[in-house]
Chain A
Amino acid sequence: MTGGIYRPEEDGAILSLVNVYKTFPVRKSFFSTENLRVRAVDGVSLTVPPGKTLGLVGESGCGKTTLARLAIRLLDPDAGAIRFDGKEITRMEGEALRVTRRQMQIVFQDPYSSLNPRMKVSDIVGEGWLVHGLARGKELRERAERLLVRVGLPADAGGKYPHEFSGGQRQRIGIARAIALSPKLVVADEPVSALDVSVQAQILNLLRDLQEEYGMAYLFVSHDLRVIRHVSDDVAVMYLGKLMETGPAAELFHEPLHPYTRSLLSAVPMLGDAPSERIVLSGEIPSPISPPPGCRFHTRCFMAEKVCEEVCPLLRSIAPGRYAACHFV
């Protein structure tokens, strides 16, 4: 079935996005009346199977964080559909959305600004239980304590405040908060980017153990290809609001198809058996306010030809399970 256009395999998926768009208004200056919009996510489809990890990788401004937030309805899409656990949640509101949200949680990048400094750790971790009426008071504190121990914090951590912990420990608190409601999907937005290497490995191991224990799916967003390779079952590569390539991690890292993926992999030293060719892209990432016509990548691509400036390539099947948006792959 090579040659076909990418369609998210929605059967049994915990999360699927179908042709999702999101733009943000920007004003060039305070007095400007020009109506400009950043096309942050520009027609993206993807799926996350239950219990698996989809790694979403891309450089700053490519729209990966916007996409992650759309996935759990922290942002509303302009167009497209979002399905979670078999239900359409694109326009879901009120009580129904609140109930659904129990099943999807997020871990943020910055363990310093994502925890309320005035709340005790047990209250931060247990807030979800309180909101959904699952535990309160003494029971909440006891459950929080068990959970904190599970994520590798001392048992008395619940009574302290976030500032009393190191970066790695705070990220453990953020993870405890995310898994408190036993969600089916956790969006992890650059969860280890702010951490030192030796601490990073501890947190990656914790995330892996928790996934095995609780069976949740991860949508794991990162700019770090080494981390993405380590955590992902499948990988999606984004560039300027569009998916360039998606496929199983092992195959994508062994033999990247899209020229952008190839240059990304070659830019990271010591990526195991990745090809050792060194491709240094010329130029800068264009602005998502006025992305180049045709293929988004053609201004920096070493394979670009005339057609790339005119026709935007669709994400199409190259080999079973592997898709790339390039005219020449």
Chain B
Amino acid sequence: MAETLLDVRGLRLSFATEKGSVRALFGVSFSVAPGETVGLVGESGCGKTVTALAVLRLLQSPPAIVESGEIVFRGEDLLALPEKRMCGVRGKSISMIFQEPMSSLNPVLTVGEQVAEVFTAHNVCGKREAAERAVEWLRKVHMPDPSLRAREYPHQMSGGMRQRAMIAMALALTPSLLIADEPSTALDVTIQAQILSLLRELRERERMAVLLITHDLGVVHDFADRTAIMYLGRIVEIAPTRELFADPIHPYTQGLLASLPGKRTGEKRLPSIPGTVPDLSNVPPGCPFADRCPFRREALSRFLAREVPADPLAVCDREDPPLYEYSGGHFAACHHQRTVRGGGAR
């Protein structure tokens, strides 16, 4: 990629708990180009939100400890930045919107005050002008009656309106990267469509990059240029979105896509992924997906039935596969697919 805005390299992060250290990220690497939207998808506990919070250094340390890795934003390693300068990055160059707008807005300040605070906190302008700019931003996010709504408190608004207020706050200083953590998950379907179309509109107008975190494959399908699939603290596959959906390589991605209901009517059973996500405090050695993987399971059963002299995928239980590159920009971390398709190491 010619230009990168954000480059996360080999991020390993763990949490100190009463039962000892629990690793949440096992070397996460990805990049976001200027103006690009990257989707980070995974099931609960896969580390997608931790990754986002780590980028903004919003994790409390301790318990969170970055063991290794770099988070390079516009050529600067954010992890090495003094906290004071980091404050200048947050909200100004990189901002974030959260899933639950009610709990991330201040209940005792009006929505207008909260948007205006973004300007005053970063010393952009005086109080009076900040208030005017706040109303203007509420108008830009299509808040109905913006000057009236600016004087209301979060509890007086619906979920969709609160999310609009959050977006106004996040975009007020036109950041070059917006991190959106499940921005539409808590909303109703038709309101969800409104918020996504608003983000689409603003993304284009402000030319900002978006790191979209979601568990909903449908949302990234329509919204992201590239998509990364996370499993147990790793990115197991990353590819241009269209390609990822057309030709998923990692068995976990394949399983996720196949198990989505409602792709057609009259479908009897859904192909489902057996088993459950292992507990992070008890991660198996080798490939994290091995014990649920259809390829691994088949190889093992053929070996146990003595159809083959040696277990062809014994490597899955030993080595955690790195991301191999397949076609341009399509990476997946799977030993089996590498032998079948012949990808090159990243």
Interface residues of A (CB under 8 A from B): 59-60, 166, 168, 196-202, 204-205, 208-209, 223, 225-231, 249-250, 253-254, 263-264, 266-273, 278, 280-285, 300
Task: Chain B residues near A268: list those with CB within 8 A.
Answer: 189, 218
B189 touches A201 (CB 8 A): no
Task: Chain A residues near B191: list those with CB within 8 A.
Answer: 59, 284-285
Given contacts A202-B272, A280-B194, contact A230 B262 (CB under 8 A): yes
Task: Chain A residues near B112: list those with CB within 8 A.
Answer: none
B273 touches A201 (CB 8 A): yes
Interface residues of B (CB under 8 A from A): 43-44, 144, 158, 160-161, 188-194, 197, 215, 217-219, 221-222, 255-256, 259-273, 276-277
- A contacts with B: majority SS: helix
Q: Which residue of B lies closest to A202 (CB)?
A: B272
**Residue among A168, A226, A230 with max Cβ neighbours from chain B (10 Å):** A230
Instruction: Find B265's partner among A249, A281, A282, A284 (CB 8 Å cutoff).
Output: A249
Task: Chain A residues near B188: list those with CB within 8 A.
Answer: 59-60, 223, 285
User: Beyond the given A200-B259, A270-B218, could you list 18 further A-B residue pairs with CB under 8 A, ordered by the A residue number?
Assistant: A168-B276, A196-B43, A201-B259, A205-B269, A205-B270, A208-B268, A223-B188, A226-B262, A228-B262, A264-B189, A267-B192, A269-B222, A270-B217, A278-B193, A280-B197, A282-B194, A284-B161, A285-B191
Instruction: For the complex of A and B, list the 8 residue pairs with the smallest distance between their C-beta atoms, beginning with the closest.
Output: A226-B262, A230-B261, A201-B259, A201-B272, A267-B193, A229-B262, A269-B218, A59-B188
B265 touches A225 (CB 8 A): no
Given contacts A196-B43, A198-B272, contact A270 B263 (CB under 8 A): yes
CA distance A200 to B260 in the complex (A): 9
A197 touches B262 (CB 8 A): no
Task: Chain B residues near A249: list those with CB within 8 A.
Answer: 265
A229 touches B265 (CB 8 A): yes
Task: Chain B residues near A263: list those with CB within 8 A.
Answer: 190, 193
CA distance A60 to B191 in the complex (A): 11
**Residue among A198, A209, A226, A266 with max Cβ neighbours from chain B (10 Å):** A198
Chain B nearest CB, measured from A255 CB (Å)? 12
Given contacts A196-B215, A284-B160, contact A225 B190 (CB under 8 A): no
